[in-house]
Chain A
C-alpha cells in the first residue's frame, strides 16, 4: 500500500498569543513536504483534538509559551485517549522548564523543543517518528 503524506496539525492551545515559533515550525514542516494544518491562535484542547480527528492528522505539534503547558498538553493527551486516537503523536515546544519536560514526556508527549532549536531538528523528529496512520 502506498504511504500517504504525513499530516501534522500545528496548534496554539490556550490564551497565549506568541505565534512566531508555531508559524515558523508550520512553514518548515510544509517546506519539508509534510501536509500542515495550522489552527491559528487561542484554541481549546477540545478544538485542537477535533481538528486533528477531522483532518486525519498523524501528529499534533503544540506551541505554548505562557507557562500553561502542564495543563494543556495533558488535556490534549487525555482527549485523544477518550476518542481512541492515542496513535496521533503529540509533540511541542515553548518556554518549558526541564522538569516539566521530563514530566510531560512521562505522560506521552513524544518530544519537546525549547528556544534555540533548529527547525531541521523538528523536521527530522517528524520524519523519524511519525508515520501516516492508514
Chain B
C-alpha cells in the first residue's frame, strides 16, 4: 500500500469519524476535484525534466526567461481609455508618472465595431467604454507627447485592429521613429471574438485572413511588434471555466499558426511574436497551474505539431488581467482584496505583464484614485513581498504540479475535440465553444444563486446599508463634441484621395493581397476607421451569430 493510503487509514479515517471535514467533496472553481493531500506519489508518472525543465528552456513550465523577475519585473500595464483622445492622453501621462511601465489602450464600442463617432449606430457610445477614434487625427491627439520609440503600447482592438496598426505605424513615421523600433501589441484575436467578446464585422474566414495579413506584415517590417494577443481573458469573462479558457485559447492560437503556415510563412518567422493574454480569477492555485500548463502545452504544440526550431517560437509570453467578472458591486472595497490575491497569482504564475482591475469598475470606468490603488497593489507585490526574488517559487509543490498536469490533460481533451471538428473556425460555425461557455456560465451562476459558491459581501456577510462610492462620470457633451469634430475633420479632407484609397483597399481585399501597405497609405490620407470597416463589410459580408443561450 502507498504511504498516502496508509496515512489515510491510520490517521485520517479515525480523525474524520470524530471531526468531519467541512464538505464531502472539495473542488476547484473549474470543478476539478481537490484531494486532501498531494505527495510525491502524485507526480511519479513524469520526471522533473519532462514536467518542468529549467526557466528559459523547453518546455518552459517554470518560466519563459532564464532569470524571470530577477532580471526585469513584469510590465505593469494598466488598461485605460475614455472620452476624447486628449482625455485618455492625460490618463496615459498620469499613469506613466505614477511608475507604470507600458501603455494599454481601451477603445470605445464604435471603434471596436467599425463605426466612426458620427455614425448613427454610435449614438450613446462615443467615448463611453473607451477612447473615441475615427481618423489618424484622433490617434495623433491620443499619443501626443508620447515617444512611440520608447514606450510599448498594447491596444485592445480586434476587427478593426488593422486600422489601429496602420494608424500607429503612420504616427511613428510622423514622429520619426523607424518601424523596427516600434514595440507593442495588438489584441487582434478574432477567433475569441466569435467565441466570447463578440465584436466583429465579417465572418471568421476573412477575419482570420486579415489577422494573417498583420502577422505577415509585422514579421517583415515591425519585428518588435506582437501582431496578436491570443486571449483567454474574454473567454473566461464570458463564463468559461479555467480549463475551457486554457483549451479554447490555445486552440485559437493553433488556428492562427495554421493560417500563417497555410500562407507559406515559416513558423519560426512569426511564432516568436505571438503573445497571449489570460484571465486571473479567484482560485489561486488553479490560476497559477493554468499559466504553467499553458506554457508547457504551447511549447509542445509548437515543437511537435509545427516543427518549430527556435526556442522563441515555443515560448508562451503572456499578459494577464485580474478577473473583472469576480468583482462585486456590493461592498466594492472588497474588490481591492480580490485583485491583490489575483495579482499575486499572476506573478507566481510567471506572467510577463499585468493589469490590475480597479475596485469601482462594477459601477463605471475607474476613477484616478481607484486606478492608483490598483497600480500600487502591483508595486507592493513587486517591491515589498519578495515573491519575485526567485524563479517559480511554487514549482515542485505537489498540489500545484498535480493540478497543472490535470488541467493540461483536461484542456488537451477539448483541443482534440476541436481538432476532430476541423479546427477552431469549424468549431465556431458549429457553435461548440459558445455553447460550452454559456452552459458553464449558467452552472456557475446557479451555484452562486444557491450559495454553493460563497461570494463575500453578496451571498455571505452582506450588509443592508452600503456607503455609496465615488465614480467616474463622463459628461454627455464629450460625445457631441467628438461627433462634431470628426464631422468637420472629415468634411475638410481631400475626398478624391479618400475615394481612391478606399477603392485600392477594396481591390486588395478582393485580390487576396496583404491589406496593410494600402491601409497605411489610406490612413495617412485620413481615411477613417468606419470607412475601412465599410469596405470590409461590402467585400466580405457581415457576420451573423448563431443565437445560443
* A interface with B by C-beta (< 8 Å): 14-20, 22-24, 26-28, 38, 40-42, 44, 65-68, 70-72, 75, 95-98, 114-116, 118-120
Contact = CB atoms under 8 A, between A and B. Distances in A.
Contact of B112 (A15, A28, A71): A15
Interface string B1-21: 000000000000000000000
Q: Which one of B239, B442, B459, B468 has the greatest number of beta carbons of chain A within 10 Å?
A: B442
A16 B128 CA distance: 11
**For the complex, would chain A's binding face be called helix, strand, loop or mixed by DSSP majority?**
loop
A15 B109 contact: yes
A42 B476 CA distance: 22
A97 B122 CA distance: 21
A116 B459 CA distance: 9
A42 B547 contact: no
14 contacts: A15-B113, A15-B115, A15-B122, A15-B199, A17-B193, A17-B198, A23-B441, A24-B441, A26-B549, A27-B549, A41-B198, A95-B362, A97-B471, A119-B445
Q: Which 6 A-B pairs have the closest CB atoms?
A: A71-B124, A17-B198, A67-B128, A15-B109, A68-B124, A23-B549
Contacts of B441: 20, 23-24
Interface string B223-245: 00000000000000111000000
Q: Which one of B115, B328, B468, B549 has the greatest number of beta carbons of chain A within 10 Å?
A: B549
Nearest to A99: B473
Contacts, number: 107
Contact of B109 (A16, A27, A75): A16
B201 to A, nearest CB: 11
B362 A116 contact: yes
A70 B328 contact: no
Contacts of A28: 442, 445
B230 to A, nearest CB: 18
Contacts of A75: 124
Interface in B437-489: 438, 441-442, 445-446, 448-449, 455, 458-459, 468, 471, 473-474, 476
Contacts of A27: 438, 442, 549
Contacts of B459: 118
